[in-house]
Amino acid sequence: MSRSVARGTALIAIAVIAIAALVLLPNPSFKQANHKPNDDPWQLVSYDPDTKYGTYLGNGFISTRIKGDGVGCQDGQPLPCFMSGLYDDEKLIPTPTWSDLRFYDDKQQFKIDKKADYRQVLNMKTGILTTYATWRAGEKTLKGKIEVIVSRARPNLALIYAQLSPDFDGEVRAVAPVGAATPGLSGFDMERGNGDGSVLAFNEYRTAHSGITFLLGKRLTGTPHSERKYARLDALEVRLAAKPDNQITVSSYAVLVGAKDSKQAWDTSHKEIWFGNEHDALIDAQKAAWAKLWKRDITIDGPRKDQQAIHTCMFYLLQSVREGSHWSIPPMGLSDNAFSGHVFWDADLWMFPALILQHPELARSIVDYRYQTLPGAIANAKAASQAGAQYAWESGYTGKEDTPEGLSYREERHINGDVTLAQWQYFLATGDLNWLKTRGYPVIKATADYWTTRAKFNPTKKYYEILQVVPPDENAELINNSAYTNYIAQLNLRVADQAAKITGNTANPKWAQVADGMYIPLDMSAKRFIAFDGHKPKWVAKQADSELLIYPLQYNNNSQSITDIYKNTFNYYSKRVHRNGPAMTNSAYAVIASRLSDRSRAYEEFTKSYRPYFRGPFNYFNEKRSTMYENMCFLTGAAGPIQSTIFGLAGASMDYFPSDPNSTNLQFHPCLPKEWKSLKLTGVQWRGREFDVEVTTGDRVKITANHE
């Protein structure tokens, strides 16, 4: 059965099985004409081989950058590749570039003929990037396609696959360079050989400081083989017989394996390098893995650009995380190592909520990273003469504070509360009591203990306050009594008290004492929060700050004036934010406007959360409206439109302090914009149940349970 309800509260109900049919996409035609703006919901297309943006392919473990040349190299320069967790001296470092593939005749390299038809297609439904072009060396040409696949099904495996038709008699040399060791790595050639018509190489690398060992294995094969032999030291090479209209194929496989045990790494790499021996099997596995992910989709019956934007943001985010990992997500994912590939509040407060209701098994890596780095956070607190754990504003391999010395950002102590909120949301969404006892509670307890010493009692004013911190509005630098920091500290303490009861532990009595006495800066005459001590009306914030107490913190003082506090805070501070601040502000505003039933404003902020930030034909997400950081995929921002849709326009909300933590406390209060006829969330996960949520005109909600 299913049920519909008017705007208000829609509780989870058991209903009939919903079967979703996959949309079959036509094969792209190889044609270059007058190109209309692309608004396809599943395919992003470039007609410019000189695009400076390109895209990023990954599977949550390994990644590569691709631009107009269609491989991991542009204009002769290798593009970076990364591996999750490959930190040295707390900095994420690139792996050797494994995704380069080049073609030569006897004299020169085949390069893309920019006067010929060219089309590059990113299929977000399958995670496959295909470049259709003509490659020219003098009078000779190769016409066809190159595919790049970073396997979602096999986390260690990737493939560059070429199908090319020559227009000449002769020989083609396919060359896959063996990437040189990058700074921070030492590497050496371990094994080379030929077998089964392939040429292989396995290289072992080790980080200079952290002592991480990983193997890079490469295998190159092609048909039809030339009779001539091949031998190179700096690259793998196969030679192929070329005849007019007789297609040649080349497969370049790469395997990256990291392990503490060297033998295990070698065994895995040798096994994986041969998995892709059948090209079709690898492609089938790739399509099946992505089809499984896309069963949990967001479907918009409205402007196609909105749907494309949601799929783009989901695609880039899903590429950056995987089940079973214990690494979190840096702001740029694995597209770049900007900010040293460090983990910030971006992962816990902005990316995590975009995953938790549809992909809790993927979101878990974000919270488990904080458990893994808890010893580093405890060491940070001890160094600062504080109790418990002090999570680093920027952390890498160990959790040690690695924000550059001298920057005030090191004092963004709200990170402790951000970490705890994600831990608590994970438990509320999954109901995993064993996880809470063994992983979540140790983190929650340690962060709460920190606030018992970091917050200081003011005997004159009779409250606890937190001094000399940097709020989310980093323009403010060091201030006292940040409304956001003080409230999330209070939230942290109350979560710890609740978690102790659930897990059967004894709560620290200081938690309730400090929480109850915490000063929350609130101007009751104006009915709005005070951002921080000394805040001036003309102050322009870097990004949303006090507004975040409305969402995601869901401040509630149990008074009848709470709605007025929300409205006045939002109206006041949203006019005082820098226009070129980070992308997250608009996505938070879309949720807040939705919860205030401002339908027009909610949709306006939703579109602002993605339109000014997309770059290039593949919607590469920029951090700001300006040109800063333009060639990195800012996943913090990309998660924003997803949050806006799930927690704003679809109206999902979870009660952080339900009277019964085992109760169904997920509700839907939708705010469907007039531009959309309907909105559907498929594969919502809540405490072991799966269901679809559909919102239609009039904010009617239909919930259908899935039984698989």
Residue 285, C-beta contacts closer than 8 angstroms, at least 6 positions apart = 151, 153, 154
Residue 587 in domain: no
| CATH code of the domain covering residue 53 | 2.70.98.40
In the prediction, which pLDDT does 30 show?
39
Report, as an integer, the average pLDDT of 677-706. 97
In the prediction, which pLDDT does 37 show?
76
In the prediction, which pLDDT does 505 show?
98
Q: Are residues 63 and 136 in the same domain?
A: yes
Helix (H) or strand (E) holding 451: helix 441-454
Q: Which of 293, 321, 346 is the last residue of a domain?
A: 293
In the prediction, which pLDDT does 40 show?
96
Q: Are residues 626 and 515 in the same domain?
A: no
Residue 653 in domain: yes
Check 90, 272, 547, 623 and give the catalytic one: 623
Check 191, 474, 630, 675 and give the catalytic one: 474
Between residues 101 and 33, the one the model is more confident about: 101
Q: Are residues 328 and 226 in the same domain?
A: no
Using CA atoms, how far apart are residues 613 and 363, in angstroms rounded to an integer? 24
Band (190; pLDDT cuts 50, 70, 90): low
Question: Is a pLDDT exceeding 50 seen at residue 341?
Answer: yes
Between residues 293 and 28, the one the model is more confident about: 293
In the prediction, which pLDDT does 182 show?
79
| CATH code of the domain covering residue 515 | 1.50.10.10
pLDDT in tens, 422-435: 999 999 999 999 99
Q: Calculate ∠ Cα 427-430-434, nearest 5°.
A: 65
Report, as an integer, the average pLDDT of 340-347. 98
In the prediction, which pLDDT does 188 show?
66
Structure tokens at 680: 């559907």
Report, as an integer, the average pLDDT of 202-225. 89
Residue 311 in domain: yes
Residue 330 in domain: yes
Residue 605 in domain: no
Q: Are residues 286 and 303 in the same domain?
A: no
Backbone φ and ψ of 689, nearest 5°: -105, 150
Alpha-carbon torsion, ordered 104, 127, 30, 277, to 10 deg = 50
In the prediction, which pLDDT does 23 show?
31
Q: Are residues 260 and 302 in the same domain?
A: no
Using CA atoms, how far apart are residues 705 and 662, in angstroms rounded to an integer? 19
Question: Is a pLDDT exceeding 80 seen at residue 108?
Answer: yes
Question: Is a pLDDT exceeding 50 seen at residue 251?
Answer: yes
In the prediction, which pLDDT does 8 show?
38
Beta bridge partners of 207: 185
Q: Are residues 286 and 326 in the same domain?
A: no
In the prediction, which pLDDT does 569 show?
98
Instruction: Specify the 3-state DSSP secondary structure of 665.
Output: coil
In the prediction, which pLDDT does 19 show?
27
Residue 596 in domain: no
Backbone φ and ψ of 329, nearest 5°: -115, 120
Question: Is a pLDDT exceeding 70 seen at residue 133?
Answer: yes
Number of domains present in the structure of the chain: 3
In the prediction, which pLDDT does 232 show?
63
pLDDT in tens, 14-33: 232 232 332 333 333 334 34
Band (98; pLDDT cuts 50, 70, 90): very high
Using CA atoms, how far apart are residues 393 and 383, in angstroms rounded to an integer? 15
191 is catalytic: no
pLDDT in tens, 380-428: 999 999 999 999 999 999 999 999 999 999 999 999 999 999 999 999 9
Q: Which of 276, 293, 310 is the last residue of a domain?
A: 293
Q: Are residues 498 and 566 in the same domain?
A: yes
Q: Are residues 623 and 664 in the same domain?
A: yes
In the prediction, which pLDDT does 196 show?
66
Question: Is a pLDDT exceeding 60 seen at residue 157?
Answer: yes
Band (451; pLDDT cuts 50, 70, 90): very high
Band (551; pLDDT cuts 50, 70, 90): very high
Question: Is a pLDDT exceeding 70 seen at residue 72?
Answer: yes
Q: Are residues 313 and 270 in the same domain?
A: no
Q: Which of 242, 272, 293 is the last residue of a domain?
A: 293
Between residues 367 and 187, the one the model is more confident about: 367
Residue 592 in domain: no
Residue 164: exposure state from Cβ atoms within 10 A (0-12, 13-18, ≥19): buried
Question: Is a pLDDT exceeding 90 seen at residue 310?
Answer: yes
In the prediction, which pLDDT does 17 show?
29
Instruction: Judge if pTM exceeds 0.95.
Output: no
pLDDT in tens, 555-608: 998 888 999 999 999 999 999 999 888 999 999 999 999 999 999 999 999 999
pLDDT in tens, 230-249: 656 678 999 999 999 799 99
In contact, 490 and 469? CB cutoff 8 Å: no
Band (10; pLDDT cuts 50, 70, 90): very low
Q: Are residues 330 and 219 in the same domain?
A: no
Separation of CA 242 from chain center: 43
Q: Are residues 261 and 323 in the same domain?
A: no
Residue 603 in domain: no
Q: By C-alpha distance, which of 558, 155, 554 is closest to 319?
A: 155
Structure tokens at 504: 């059967």
394 is catalytic: no
Structure tokens at 237: 């090479």
Q: Are residues 287 and 301 in the same domain?
A: no
In the prediction, which pLDDT does 228 show?
62
Range of the domain at 343: 1-20+297-368+611-708
Report the chain's mean pLDDT, rounded to a whole number: 91
